Amino acid sequence: MGRSGRIADSADVVVVGFGAAGVCAALAAREQGAEVIALDRANGGGATAISGGIVYAGGGTAVQRRAGVDDTVERMLAYLRLEVGDAVSPATLESFVRSSPEMIDWLQRHGVPFDSTLCPYKTSYPNNRYYLYHSGSENAGAFRSHTPPVQRGHRVQGKGTSGKKLYGPLLHSALERGVDFRPHTTVTRLLQDSAGRVTGVEAATMGYAPPHIRRMYAAMAAVSSKPGIYYPPLRRAMEHRLRRLERRYARPIRVAARRGVIICAGGFIANPEWLHRYAPEFKNGLPLGTSGDDGSGIALAESVGAVSQRMDNVSAWRFITPPSAFLGAIIVDQRGQRIIDESRYGAAIGQAMVKNHHGTGWILADAAVMREARRQLFTQTLWFQRAQTAALMLTGSVRASSLAKAAAAAGIDPDGLRATVDAHNNAIDSGAPDPAGKPSEFTRRIAKSPYTLLNISIRPSLLNPTPMLTLGGVRVDEATGAVLTESGEPIPGLYGAGRCAVGVCSNSYVSGLSIADCVFSGRRAGTHAAKQSDDPSERNSGATGLVT
């Protein structure tokens, strides 16, 4: 067949993008007996496979029970109502929370390993000894006043960042159950019948290239994903070579979907043009995702009438732990004023810095905190956390014998800093609440010289970047996952899940909430797509098949 030929194929359900949302959608569809073809432009896994592998779950999961953690649906709901806001309806949030224990059971049935070892200190990500921890802002003053802090960050068991230990078993389970996975296939167009129903996809695939070319393509796609995420020039070089191979070897195909197409192709953090259009203040971060997170899935849905929402909402991560000693420090802006309760989750810190302080911020720590932080570098961190914190201490800090001298060296208003420290210390001395609302267990007097200001401002940096991901996407029906038009009508045959769709974490992100939403929304979309009739006459009388 010549290069201009089209290869036809079909399945009940076609999944576009095969990360966490995609593989969960495929598994859910197979559980309903549907035939599934899954397409991915790279090797599969998406951002999930290179993530920390955290699943936010609670309400009494099996893992929590083994750890002796007392949690209830009501407590988890009370916390998430504050984080999620109006991103989804109260009914959807309650469904998400009530199904949380079963979600962990479902993941474990598909081979995902969890461990119930509790982390004894507050951290952004535990080391390899601990797997259940406070992964959000549960400990912060504004939240614990509503509900007791509970450990709900379920880190998948595995060394280092364990996202691969989450995705690998799910992929294996999907293949074992008959999902037809086709990597290195880029979907370029949604196909519709005469009544507007989405009936399939048009794509370009490397699946018919010579074996050695496919192996080369897979290897370069892996490098682009990681370590390319941390070194943008390497990613750009790999992507340039991948596009060159595609121009020579990719062949067009069409895949018909008898019951539905599910778009699970991620967000748009890798699309600078879109980021400038929707959220220009977040330009200085590290795109946390793969090059496939370029908004192409959202654009596909929009091409057939979908409406997108919350596209200006970006999660910017500025973690100050580990080491946990830094919880006893304070974060100040250029005026020397407190930015936020330092026990808040890192994305809340980053959001406050970007939105209210021009992306600038410094950790102020005295000699006692710095000594403790240095000791904890060897007990609380993984290698990359240790490297980043050491770089911050060595190259991103100023130290002086007085607050005034430290402020002057950092370009901070010394009078403002002095007033902030006095207010902070006076509150501790008098037993008054912390001015920023930080719980008393984390507050420490700032009184021992020398004083160190560590620059955590959001700026391009290889040594201490600010990871970012987008939280907006297409609007979906919260009962089915069907993609909606501006008028609120479902687009027949089209579903969305994961970060290409508005979901539970589209207002405020904490570690594990995105993957948990990928599982939740992926299963929802896969289940409902698979239940549609595959008889065109039952769907609409005007169906005429694929439109060219």
Q: Provide DSSP, 160-178.
A: SSTHHHHHHHHHHHHHHTT
Per the rule left: phi > 0, alpha: psi between -120 and 50, beta: everything else, 85 is left
Q: What token pair was written down for 276? A: 């400038």
Angle at 119 between CA 116 and CA 124, to 5 degrees: 115
Closest-CA residue to 38 (of 194, 226, 170): 170
pLDDT of 84 above 80: yes
Buried-state track 381-412, b at ≥16 Cβ within 10 A, e below 16: bbeebbebbeebbeebbbbbeebebbbeebeb
Which residues, at least 6 apart from 22, have a Cβ–Cβ distance to it below 8 Å? 15, 16, 38, 40, 44, 46, 262, 264, 497, 498, 522
- Name the pLDDT band for 2 (thresholds 50, 70, 90): very low
Over residues 11-40, the mean pLDDT reads 98
Q: pLDDT tens digits, residue range 377-410?
A: 999 999 999 999 999 999 989 999 999 999 999 9
Q: Three-state DSSP class for 96?
A: helix
> What's the mean per-residue pLDDT of the chain?
95
Q: pLDDT tens digits, residue range 430-462?
A: 999 999 999 999 999 999 999 999 999 999 888
* pLDDT cut 70: percent of the chain above it: 97
- Domains of the chain: residue spans and CATH: 7-51+161-207+251-314+469-531 (3.50.50.60), 54-155 (no CATH), 318-455 (3.90.700.10)
Closest-CA residue to 370 (of 408, 406, 423): 406
pLDDT of 537 above 70: no
- Name the pLDDT band for 292 (thresholds 50, 70, 90): very high
Over residues 103-115, the mean pLDDT reads 98
Distance of CA 542 to the CA centre of its chain: 40
- Name the pLDDT band for 361 (thresholds 50, 70, 90): very high
C-alpha span between 145 and 328 (Å, rounded) = 20
Over residues 319-327, the mean pLDDT reads 97
